[in-house]
Structure formats: structure tokens, C-alpha cells
Amino acid sequence: MQREITRELVRRLLPGRMAESNKGSYGSVLAAAGSMAYRGAAALCTEGALRGGAGLVYLASVEPVIQLVLSRTPECCACGCRTAANGGIHPQDADALRRWFADRPTVLLAGPGLGESAADVCKALLGRNAPWAGAVLDADALNALAAGKYRGDLPANTIMTPHPGEAARLLGLTVPEVQADREGAAVSLAEKYHCVAVLKGHHTLVAAPGGTVWRNETGNAGLAKGGSGDILAGLTAGLLAAGLKQGRTPENAAVCAVWLHGAAADRCAKRRSMTAMLPGDLFEDLGWILGELGR
């Protein structure tokens, strides 16, 4: 049985902001994102993580992506990487990142815009004894996982955010099969990969290990544009990082993220229209929504 995500539920689950606190009080995120071909994805997901409340957000990417992101959000910390032949992060640098963050409890956000480098990057960052406090896997990281490019248990506190096509690849199904039983697909993802699964689409579903399924009623067709998922992934990572510090769960972070993302889109559509609104427009509306919720 699906449970509905409500405004009051989100208000209760959102991490608080304490008067006596500092950036270390709200966790940190490392976004392994972007490539020469997909630069905007890194900009959107890192801003999403910052707006989601993480105390520190690092971006690991190639230098042209770093330059774009810092021009938009100078609050982001840069971990510049060499460019591989495919235009993505050099895998040797990804391996060095894992070692560098080994004693820094951090949420890994992997996938947005990684392109052809995703398999090598994820193989280096994930796998046995990965140091991450949690992880959010999206886009190219999910495609690499589905293709068997990296194996082993995912880190504790992992959230995956597939759209129906990615979910189909992860489960060995067709998209029509996923869409015909979205709840079953979401539960199967959570059980197969031992993580919280966010199955995106009309009425996004959040499934947790154990069978709990949440249904989100916010959002509209204005989100059907490239970049919307990058924002959701970043927002989820930011909420996860801040929430883990306060005893919140990955399920809590995912529930809050999908509701906030959709609520911001609903507000944005009223002032921009579903046709003209852009994913980047959501950040202004997200701020208003969080303010109304006292955060």
C-alpha cells in the first residue's frame, strides 16, 4: 500500500538549522559529475546539493566543468581532474579521490553528466570498503551499474534515482513493464540493490528496503526537460548529508527531496508556465518553499 507524501510530513522530516552550528554540522557532498560533453549537469547538481543544505559541497570534474560551476556557485569546492580521452574524469584521479576522502565522512553523488567515463569513475569510487557516509546514484552511474561495469555492495545509506528507462535496465525489464507496475518495480529496485529507490515520473515513487512505498503528488510536465533530474539528485544528496548528521534516514531524505522538487516546479509553473520554465528556475521557488516550511 502506497503512503502519500504530504507537506506536514516533509516539514517534520526536514533537517533543521541550529543557531549553534557551523558548516561541519550539516555534512558534506562530493559530486563526481560532468564531462566535456555534459557540463551543465554538474552545475545543476552541485547547486542542488548546496540548496539542499549540505555544509560543504565538492565537485570532482574536468577543468572546463569546474570553471563553469565556480562561475555560477563559488560556494562549491573544486577537485580538478585530468581529462580522459573520452572527455570525462581520468580514472586514476577518481581513485585518488577515494583515498583523499577516506577519512572525511562524505556523501558521494555520482552520475550526472559523467558520460563515457562513468564506468571507470564508479569502479574507482565504489566497491568494497568504499569510505562514503552515503551515496546518491543517478544517470550514467546507474547505466554503468546496470551494465555490470562495477560490482559489489553499494555503500550504506545509498539512494538511487532512476527514470523508467534506467529502472528497466537495472531490473532487466522493458520500459512498458516498469510502467505497468511502477510500485512493483520500485520495490524490486530497493530489494535487489539494498538501497532506497526513487522511481521518477508522473507521481514519483520512493521505495525503501522492507517494502515501504511513498507516492509523491507534487510536480508537473514542466519538469520534462534535461537538467531536472540533475537538480533532484543534488537536492537529495544535500538533504542526505545534512540529515545523517541529525539522525535522519536515506528514506527521509528521498521523501523530502521528491516533494520539494515537485512543489518548487508547481510554484515555478505558475510564474513561468510549464512550457517556458527551465530547471534552473526551480532554485528560486525552492527557496520560497523551504522558507514557508521554516527552513
Q: What is the pLDDT of residues 63-72, one digit of tens each?
A: 999 999 999 9
Spell out where the chain has E strands: 2-4, 28-32, 56-62, 77-81, 107-110, 134-137, 158-160, 196-199, 205-207, 213-215
pLDDT digits (tens, 9 = 90+) for 129-148: 889 999 999 999 999 999 99
Binding residues for (6S)-NADPHX: 41, 113, 163, 230
All residues at 6 or more sequence positions from 12 whose CB lies less than 8 Å from its CB, including other chains? none
Provide the percentage of residues in the chain whose pLDDT is more than 90.
Answer: 94
* 1 band by pLDDT with thresholds 50, 70 and 90: confident
Nearest to 147 by CA among 175, 163, 123: 123
Given a cut of 90, whether residue 151 has pLDDT beyond it is: no
Domain residue limits, the chain:
26-292
Count of Cβ atoms closer than 10 Å to residue 295 Cβ? 17
Q: What's the DSSP call for residue 280?
A: G
CA 124, 138, 130, 116: dihedral to nearest 10 degrees? 0
Binding residues for AMP: 200-204, 229
Binding residues: 41, 113, 163, 200-204, 229-230
pLDDT digits (tens, 9 = 90+) for 23-75: 999 999 999 999 999 999 999 999 999 999 999 999 999 999 999 999 999 99
Count of Cβ atoms closer than 10 Å to residue 192 Cβ? 12
* 195 band by pLDDT with thresholds 50, 70 and 90: very high
Q: What's the DSSP call for residue 15?
A: P
Count of Cβ atoms closer than 10 Å to residue 152 Cβ? 11
Q: What is the pLDDT of residue 176?
A: 98
At the topology level of CATH, where does 26-292 sit? Answer: UDP-N-acetylmuramoyl-L-alanine:D-glutamate ligase (3.40.1190)
Answering whether pTM is above 0.95, one says yes
